[in-house]
Structure 1
Amino acid sequence: MRLAALLSAAFLSLPTAAAPAEEVDLELLLMVDVSRSMSAEELEIQRQGYARALTGDAVAAALGRTLTGRIALAYVEWAGEYRQSIRHDWALIEDRDDLEAFAATLLQGRSVTQSRTSIASALRFGAFLIGANEFAGLRRVIDISGDGPNNQGGLVTEARDEVLAEGITINGLPLMTHDDYGARWRLEDLDIYYSRCVVGGPGAFVVPVTDWRDFSDAVTRKLVLEIAGAPVERLHAAQADAPYDCQIGEKMWRRNRRFDDMP
């Protein structure tokens, strides 16, 4: 009896093996800009647009074209160097009901603008979240949107290269709408900036948004490409050869930082 008790105690004291990671086709992290160059109306358009895209027929159909019909999805809002907020933590998505439940969470509450724009910190935070989740994806993707270049948190190219070294692809959704709010911080060729300085990895691409009326359609197109792994012809290729000043955002900030509405 004593021996049995000792064996039982020894067994209970053994370290438990970690649960195996759940296999999915894709780990997709949606990272959404809430910097001060975004108006309250634009923040609402973003959340509504993502919710509409996630609950549409096209995204549900794309989910059905994956190998397993399963992806892992999370949604983060970001701005400056230490300003990242998890709006929806990692969730297993297997069907339309899961997509609708995820979208419903995005519509709860409201987004709040925050100062500065650190794409570099957002990418590093995203890579950490992907590395720490409980899923094992055949593909791992950070999908980052934004309406301006990096202006805090170190060189965006260094952060990009660190993320790519982890086997994570970065896709971009540059917001190039021509409204008056935050106009002094606008970069006219933001799509080129994203393609030269931000995105990378196998099949990486950029989908520019030039009119807020097209936002939901652009998000839908991007999600379908990412989930179904479709070809990306006619989109901006990642990191084309032409030279580009990837520190343009830092230079803009130093030039304009006297203003109170720094993004």
Structure 2
Amino acid sequence: MRRRTLLAAPALLAAPARGAEPVDVLLVLAVDVSRSIDEDEARLQREGYRNAVSDPRVVEVVRRGMIGAIGLAYVEWAGFEYQRLVLPWSRIATQADADAWASALAEAPRASLSWTSISGALDFSRRVMEQAPFEGTRRVVDVSGDGVNNSGRPVTLARDECVAAGITVNGLPIINDRPTFGRAPPVPLDQYFQDSVIGGPGAFMIVAEDFDAFGSAVRRKLIREIA
């Protein structure tokens, strides 16, 4: 199967020019849409990110930053052959910016398919980061998912390459009581994320105990990442 390529307007894919608009942090949200996530769970994830980004508490943290703005991109991923830039880079500095971003995400089509390639998600997110049109003082990939890497190359290699490129990888493991493709994970998911997924200066994870708790976990995580 041919690998899907990143699709967006050419201006959004250009490397940041000298004098590019500054932001406090460049943040890629990399969200699992593999087959272990059903339609209701996919909806809860989308709503969790929409509500978190547009939450006035999150916007206030953004505004209190040294620059008072963040750069935000939203990626969905599944197996090694599928990653998609759902929302290209946006500069979030006001409540209106955050509300517009949340509305755009509500209108974007959803997909659920294939296996779970966290390594593919990190590789793709690193390329998205390299193409950011803003200049960030920090660079972070926030990867969420409900399973371990079972497609593509080892996740530790992709994680280490992100860290070497100056990108911090944070994690949001979702504890799902359904085995992935009928198989239980080899280790508890939170331990797996701690050992194999997160990395870089100040890297951390916040566990969502289930999909219903996802929205609260996302909000707490965004506030910590931005602050």
Same fold (TM over 0.5): yes
CA distance in 2, matches of 1:186, 1:94: 42
2:10 alignment partner in structure 1:
none
Distance 1:58 1:199, change over 3 A: same
- Contact 2:59/2:93 (8 A) holds in 1: no
Q: How does 1:22-171 map to 2 (within 5 A)?
A: 22-171=21-170
Task: Give distance in 2, aligned partners of 1:98 and 1:181.
Answer: 38
Extract structure 1 runs of 4+ deviating beyond 6 A.
none
Q: Which residues of structure 1 form unaligned runs of 5+?
A: 1-17, 229-263
Is this contact kept in 2: 1:148–1:185, CA < 8 A? no
- Rounded Cα–Cα distance in structure 2 between residues aligned with 1:186 and 1:176: 12
Q: How many residues align?
A: 210
Using the alignment, how far apart are the partners of 2:67 and 2:34 within structure 1? 36
Q: What's the CA shift for 1:136?
A: 1.2
> 1:29-52: CA deviations, max 9, x gaps?
000000001111100110011111
CA distance in 2 between partners of 1:140 and 1:205 (Å)? 14
Instruction: Give the TM-score of the pair, scaled to structure 2.
Output: 0.88
Q: Cα distance, 1:186 vs. partner?
A: 4.2
Deviation at 1:20, TM superposition (A): 2.7
- Give 2:182's aligned amino acid: R
Q: Distance in 2 between matches of 1:183 and 1:57?
A: 39
Matched residue SS, 1:143: strand
Could you say if the C-alpha distance between residues 109 and 161 of structure 1 is closer, same or farther in structure 2, counting changes exceeding 3 Å?
closer
Give the SS at the match of 1:107: helix
Aligned mates of 2:55, 2:36 — CA distance in 1: 29
Instruction: Using CA pairs under 8 Å that are at least 6 residues apart, name the structure with larger relative contact order, 1 or 2.
Output: 2
Based on CA coordinates, which of the two structures has the bigger radius of gyration? Answer: 1
Letter in 2 for 1:106: L
3-state SS of paired residue (2:137): strand
1:93-123 CA-to-partner distances (Å, cap 9, x unmatched) read 1111101111111111441111011111110
Q: 2:86, 2:108 within 8 Å by CA — same for their partners in 1?
A: no
Mapped partners of 1:162, 1:182: distance in 2: 27
- Corresponding letter in the other structure for 2:43: E
Aligned-residue sequence identity (percent) comes to 44
Partners in 2 of 1:198 and 1:212 — Cα distance? 20
- Aligned to 2:35, what secondary structure does the other structure show? coil
Alignment TM-score, normalising by the size of structure 1: 0.77
Q: Which stretch has the larger CA shift, 29-38 or 110-119?
A: 110-119
Q: 2:191, 2:223 → 1: CA distance?
A: 22
What is residue 200 of structure 2 aligned with on the other side? Answer: 201
| Within-5 A mapping of 1:219-258 | 219-228=218-227
**Pairwise CA distance, 1:211:** 2.3
Rounded to whole Å, the distance in 2 between the matches of 1:224 and 1:40 is 27
Report how far residue 183 of structure 1 moved: 6.9
- Counterpart contact for 1:148–1:186, Cα < 8 Å: no
Letter paired with 2:167: I
Structure 2 alignment gaps of length 5 or more: 1-16
